[in-house]
A and B are shown apart, each in its own frame.
Chain A
Amino acid sequence: MTQPPPRTRDNVAAALPDDTARAWFDEALADAACAAPAPPAASSPYPARTWELWFAAAGRYCGHGNADDVRTLLLVEARAGLETLTRLYRHGSAAERRPVLRALPALVEGSLAVHLVEDALRSNDTRLISAAVGSYAAAHLDPHAWRHAVLKCLFTGVPVDAVASLAQRAAGDGELARMLTDYAAERTAAGREVPDDLGRVLTLTGEEPKEL
């Protein structure tokens, strides 16, 4: 099991609190869809294009429970490129960084945006970590960084269900198995519980569990 994919436009529209929010949502997406591909004038103090203002304001207009999906849809609708995604991430609140991370698989070819995933994984904010370990990370993180991402989920309490392609990437990964075993030993030595998820991942590696 991995993270559910972002909801579709129709699913999100149905979940919005009222018709005012739905009208806002339709207008924002329409604005994003006709976003000019050219970079904006650098002199404006505001987010570069009008759809980026909608992006910032999505929580208060659509409800915070819908904001992740609304923002992700806006990014996809605007066909946001790497430069825009990087700027929105760097200028974004945590709530704005999550949809950038979630939209990477749909918007960025190749590994050019991996620096954003790495930035999120350096944080200790579980909202960012869980959004960072999606299918883009599965496809583009190198083995060392990916193993540390899995370990960080165990450290910070992010359920490993959030890690995309966990079974495929973990299979046969002896180094991950060693790291998990060492971590389990460290927890045990300290008299602390070993997270249940650790055993699950260890099993997925296919390595024989050692004495924990």
Chain B
Amino acid sequence: MRIFDPHIHMTSRTTDDYEAMYAAGVRAVVEPSFWLGQPRTSPSSFFDYFDALLGWEPFRAAQYGIAHHCTIALNPKEANDPRCTPVLDALPRYLVKDGVVAVGEIGYDSMTPAEDTALAAQLQLAADHGLPALVHTPHRDKLAGLHRTVDVVRESSLPMERVLLDHLNETTVQHAKDSGCWLGFSVYPDTKMDEDRMVEILKTYGTEKVLVNSAADWGKSDPLKTRKVADAMLAAGFGEDDVDQVLWRNPAAFYGLSGRLRLDVPEAEGLHEGNSILRGGE
């Protein structure tokens, strides 16, 4: 079984996680830029983070046989902090890079005017750079947030079929599907979706354009949720091909819209078994 986790924050995870993910079948991940739990206070802090998503993290992932790409954006929460908004001006130089396969996570958190501005500006950046967009849907006031998100995307220069609406659930999936966007579901231990509810949604709405992710980060989360959904799908009577579609081909097709996705993992140059990370760092 091959698995592509289209949304996971690996900077928050250990090498044990990479090892367990590989053993579970994960061969590719996309790491969206997001907030870090602790608010940032300057654009420089973002730039170091973006650089890690384009440097150290793909290097770590490659040592465990996993292809790593990222999405770059000013996230919705920090779009509200005037100390952080200058990040928007620096995004173009990141959006031209080979490892960037989408603009994201963008979208709404509290649905403020500052979030409106950042969302519209970044949808335009995606259109300008030939990139799709990963759009986070809000956790509070979710259905209203989803409607507003779809309206803003529809008014943007970015075609709906180049947008992935993420963190969907039973209350938002129908409207999201009607919009023509790709459908993302985050499977979490306590919040968001769980495996069995995910299977029910797949039974009801089908497997087309559906992506499942762990969204694992620094909170209570599980980087193996993608595999657990695959197992739950098989147990519920879905076939291997359905699993492959949801957990590999759909994410590969969506991020492949960037023209920059590279799913063969090259062995890092000069690397062998004695390298420093596998030994636990120098």
Contact = CB atoms under 8 A, between A and B. Distances in A.
Interface in A50-70: 53, 56-60, 64-65, 67
B268 A127 contact: yes
Given A124-B281, A155-B282, A129 B98 contact: no
Interface residues of A, number: 35
B259 interface: yes
A60 B259 contact: yes
A159 interface: yes
Nearest to A133: B270
A94 interface: yes
Given A45-B93, A64-B262, A157-B274, A125 B56 contact: yes
Given A45-B89, A124-B282, A130 B98 contact: no
A59 B92 contact: no
A162 B270 CA distance: 8
B269 interface: yes
B51 to A, nearest CB: 8
B220 interface: no
Given A47-B96, A67-B98, A94-B59, A127 B269 contact: yes
A156 interface: yes
B275 A156 contact: yes
B94 to A, nearest CB: 9
B90 interface: yes
A93 interface: yes
B92 A45 contact: yes
Contacts of A64: 98, 262, 266
A84 interface: no
A159 to B, nearest CB: 6
Nearest to B96: A56
A53 B56 CA distance: 22
Interface string A59-89: 1100011010000000000000000000000
A125 B55 contact: yes
A125 B208 CA distance: 39
A58 B259 CA distance: 13
Contact of B96 (A53, A129, A153): A53
Nearest to B276: A156
A155 B59 contact: no
A39 B149 CA distance: 41
B271 interface: yes
Contact of B275 (A53, A94, A157): A157
Contacts of A57: 96, 98
Contacts of B190: none
Given A45-B90, A126-B268, A127-B268, 7 more contacts: A45-B89, A94-B54, A126-B269, A127-B270, A152-B282, A153-B270, A195-B274
Closest A-B pairs by Cβ, 3 of them = A59-B98, A93-B54, A157-B275
9 contacts: A45-B93, A46-B96, A93-B54, A93-B55, A94-B59, A95-B99, A126-B268, A155-B276, A155-B282
